[in-house]
Amino acid sequence: MYRDVPLSGREKLRLRRAMEKRAAHYPLQYITGSVEFMGIDFSITPGVFIPRPETELLVETALKAIGTGSRTAVLDLCCGSGVVGLSIARMSTGTEVALSDVSGKAVRLAIKNSERLGLRSRAEFYTGDLFSPLPMSKSFDLIVSNPPYVPCGRMRRLQAEVLEEPARAIDGGRGGLETIRRIISGAGRRLGRDGMLIMEHDDTHKEYLEALCDHDGRSGLRYIKTINDLSGLPRVSVFSARAGQGVLA
């Protein structure tokens, strides 16, 4: 692209090393230190899950929910680098977001991204397992999550690039449902009246999620719908607190 621009010896060495890493299937995003999501440039570092384009559907669905009601308190659960919660904050100026992840490294990166985007004053950060680090008194209008959901039996068949990412951000355990079950079990107690849970999941999970919330009153959630991604696969499901009516049916 820039054949007329001479490179210094140090630049040539950096470029050669980057090419060697990429040739060995090291993720390009880790090499460049950045990833684009929802048209926004985010920092990314090794050891933190790399956001996928299909997760933009999760943000788009959340923004639709926010736009049809008074949902201003948002929780991004399993936030990783913060792209979901921070994109929502960037595109919906009336929202306050809380971001939580079990990985301290991911939370530190999410804080860095919030500062780069000028969103630090509208974001709170928590490190710990799912809902556990959040104050017991804290509830939300909307919970969004892109949890680990790849079935463990499929992990060994993933691309070499994916295997460079942290396994605990990808491996969803048996059937890919271990973390998802725990989120559904706890989300109802963290949602206010008319609150909603919007969650990304594997394309094999739709029927299970629908049945779980329809027949398990203990979850405190009501299944509303599942939205297909651009490949036509069921990717994002929407739930409401049972006391509420929902707005995306």
Classified as helix, coil or strand, 183 is: helix
Where exactly does CATH 3.40.50.150 map onto the chain?
46-241
Q: Report how far residue 21's alpha carbon sits from residue 23's, in angstroms, rounded to the nearest whole number.
A: 5
Out of 147, 148, 234, 239, the active site residue is: 147
* CA angle at 192 for the pair 140 and 247, rounded to the nearest 5°: 95
Whether residue 110 contacts residue 45, with contact meaning beta carbons closer than 8 Å, is answered with no
What percentage of residues in the chain have a pLDDT greater than 70? 93
How high is the pLDDT of residue 249? Answer: 45
Catalytic residue flag (residue 228): no
More confident residue, 20 or 246: 20
Q: Report how far residue 119's alpha carbon sits from residue 193's, in angstroms, rounded to the nearest whole number.
A: 27
At 70, the pLDDT band (50, 70, 90 cuts) reads low
Q: Report how far residue 203's alpha carbon sits from residue 14's, in angstroms, rounded to the nearest whole number.
A: 40
How high is the pLDDT of residue 104? Answer: 97
Q: What six digits make up the tokens of 145?
A: 């999550």
Helix (H) or strand (E) holding 91: helix 83-91
Q: Report how far residue 214's alpha carbon sits from residue 35's, in angstroms, rounded to the nearest whole number.
A: 38
More confident residue, 216 or 125: 125
- Cross-strand partners of 40: 37
Q: pLDDT (tens digit, 9 = 90+) per residue, 39-52?
A: 999 999 999 999 99
Query: How many other CB atoms are found less than 10 A from the CB of residue 244?
Result: 17
Fold for domain 46-241?
Rossmann fold (3.40.50)
Q: Is the pLDDT of residue 132 over 70?
A: yes
How high is the pLDDT of residue 194? Answer: 85
Q: Is the pLDDT of residue 247 over 50?
A: no
Quote the pTM value. 0.91
What is the C-alpha R_g of the chain? 19
How high is the pLDDT of residue 193? Answer: 84
- In the DSSP assignment, the letter for residue 117 is T
Question: What integer is the mean pLDDT of 107-124?
Answer: 97
Say which residues have a Cβ less than 8 Å from residue 60's Cβ, sequence separation at least 6. Answer: none
Residue 29: C-alpha distances to residues 33, 39, 43 (Å): 6, 15, 9
How high is the pLDDT of residue 219? Answer: 67
Out of 42, 51, 125, 146, the active site residue is: 146
Out of 49, 125, 131, 140, the active site residue is: 49
Q: pLDDT (tens digit, 9 = 90+) per residue, 154-210?
A: 999 999 999 999 999 999 999 999 999 999 999 989 998 889 999 999 999 999 998
Catalytic residue flag (residue 147): yes
At 212, the pLDDT band (50, 70, 90 cuts) reads confident
Catalytic residue flag (residue 125): no
More confident residue, 24 or 114: 114
Whether residue 198 contacts residue 178, with contact meaning beta carbons closer than 8 Å, is answered with no
Q: Report how far residue 170's alpha carbon sits from residue 191's, in angstroms, rounded to the nearest whole number.
A: 25
pLDDT-wise least confident of 9-18, 54-63, 79-88, 171-180: 9-18
How high is the pLDDT of residue 246? Answer: 45
